[in-house]
Chains A and B, each alone.
Chain A
Amino acid sequence: LAKTTQPISMDSYEGQEVNITCSHNNIATNDYITWYQQFPSQGPRFIIQGYKTKVTNEVASLFIPADRKSSTLSLPRVSLSDTAVYYCLVVPTSGTYKYIFGTGTRLKVLA
């Protein structure tokens, strides 16, 4: 299972775009990249998932370069309510389907 590395913490201001980069050098051919958001006293919430290039939904974009050894979660125009921990995971699509959570990035949005 591929290990992920992401910054421990980040600060941003309201209205800014936030980019959180995750490295996953050992990603396998069939693995997906998945991002979760976790608020205190809640379970992780799925944000976005992708395999390659760019994926966009109503809350975020995910950029994955051709070599897939890293990925970047982009949050447009963050607000105070985006303060949370963000986890990058490499997800297998076969075998055990286990999720291995890394340390996550603690994002603090300032007014």
Chain B
Amino acid sequence: SAVISQKPSRDICQRGTSLTIQCQVDSQVTMMFWYRQQPGQSLTLIATANQGSEATYESGFVIDKFPISRPNLTFSTLTVSNLSPEDSSIYLCSVRTDSNQPQHFGDGTRLSIL
């Protein structure tokens, strides 16, 4: 299965700033996804990161708040903009190589807002 590295693993940020999270995969993958997991909760899909095109966002998530880049088949970034305490969560990247394979997840980025 693909090896997924997320950076940073955790961060503490000030209100109003932004944080960019990186997701690096050790092989080329067609599908990459970004999730949010609030404390004690399940995972919620933020968006699907498409290589060479705009990301597809789920209801309740907008590009201005969560801009995503997908410059190639092994890398993606998620930026969480204009941080507020409500953004304190774990942000996870996942990848899927084809329709018959399960998604594989990184270990996430734990974000806390002061």
Residues of chain A at the chain B interface (Cβ within 8 Å): 34, 41-46, 49, 87, 91, 93-94, 96-104
Q: Which of A41, A44, A93, A96 is most buried by chain B, counting CB atoms within 10 A of its CB?
A: A44
- Which of A34, A43, A94 touches B108 (beta carbons < 8 Å)? A43
For A99, list chain B residues within 8 Å (CB): 33, 43, 45, 94, 103
Can you name the residue of chain B whose Cβ is closest to the Cβ of A30? B99
B108, A100: Cβ atoms closer than 8 Å: no
- Residues in B with CB closer than 8 Å to A102 are 42
B102 touches which of A42, A43, A46, A103 (Cβ 8 Å): A46
Residue numbers of B with Cβ under 8 A of A are 1, 4, 31, 33, 35, 42-45, 48, 56, 58, 92, 94, 96, 99-100, 102-108, 110
Give the chain B neighbours of A44 by CB distance below 8 A: 43, 92, 105
Is B100 within 8 A of A93, CB to CB?
A: yes
User: A97-B99, A99-B33 in contact; A45/B105 too (CB < 8 A)?
Assistant: yes
**For residue A45, which residues in chain B have a CB less than 8 angstroms away from its CB?**
105
Q: Chain B interface mostly helix, strand, loop or mixed?
A: strand
> A98 to chain B: which residues have CB within 8 Å?
33, 45, 48, 58
Q: How far is the CA of A78 from the CA of B100 in the complex (A)?
A: 29
State the Cβ distance, A25 to closest chain B Cβ, in Å.
Answer: 19
Task: Given A97-B99, A98-B48, A99-B33, check contact A43 B42 (CB 8 Å).
Answer: no
Report the bound CA distance from A101 to B92 in whole Å. 13
Residues of B within 8 A of A91 (CB): 102
Q: Please give 12 more A-B residue pairs, beta carbons under 8 A apart, in addition to A43-B107, A94-B99, A103-B42.
A: A41-B110, A42-B108, A46-B102, A46-B104, A93-B99, A97-B48, A98-B58, A99-B43, A99-B45, A100-B45, A101-B35, A101-B45
CB < 8 Å neighbour of A43 from B31, B44, B106: B106
Contact B107 A101 (CB under 8 A): no
- A94, A101, A102 interface centre (most CB from chain B within 10 Å): A101
